[in-house]
Amino acid sequence: MKITIRLTLLAAAAVRGFWLWTVFFPSPEKVVLQKIARLAATATFSADDSSLIRAGKAGNLVGFFADDAQIILDAPGQAARTLSGRDEIQTAALGGFASLPQLKVQFLDVTVRIGADRQTAEATCTAKVNAGDSKDFGVQEMRFQFRKTGSDWLITRAETVKTLS
């Protein structure tokens, strides 16, 4: 009986130790998935958000990108546009956040592949964006490339993906 109790306690301690390890030292895939989720939350704002809150979100948005990052947007019905560097990204974010009444961004079906060097990653997903007062939303396939910089994963390239539709 004593051995059974000790083995049960030992197994419970091992499970708890493993859980704590995954909480404090998450896998690169989990870190990138969390980063994508936080990016969507940062890019989302409501009509009730003040100009100060929107400017803060635009400033925070830039923190997801490397200094030399590029965003390449080529979506149907929109003019193709390339943003290079954090300054251009922040300027575009400030302009967009100021001109839209509200914006809701979601990244769905995110898949992450970590590079063989464990210092790069690629995430693909479907972006669902609702801008303004419309109930309609846009859907676009996206690809993000990440680079590990110190202990952080930063986006080096974000681009729309042309689909066959």
What is the pLDDT at residue 39? 96
What is the rounded distance in angstroms from the CA atom of residue 121 to the CA atom of residue 136? Answer: 32
CB 29 within 8 A of CB 123: no
Q: How far apart are CA 41 and CA 21, in angstroms?
A: 26
- Domain coordinates of the chain in residue numbers? 27-160
In which band, very low, low, confident or very high, does the pLDDT at 22 lie, cut at 50, 70 and 90?
low
pLDDT at 165: 57
Residue 104 banded pLDDT, cuts 50, 70, 90: very high
pLDDT bracket for residue 85 (50, 70, 90): very high
What pLDDT does residue 99 have? 87
Region 19-42 average pLDDT:
85
Q: Is 58 exposed, middle or buried (0-12, 13-18, 19+ CB in 10 A)?
A: buried
Written out in words, the top-level CATH class of the domain with range 27-160 is alpha beta
- pLDDT band per the 50, 70, 90 thresholds, residue 156: very high
| Chain segment 106-117, per-residue pLDDT in tens | 999 999 999 999
Mean pLDDT of 95-104: 88
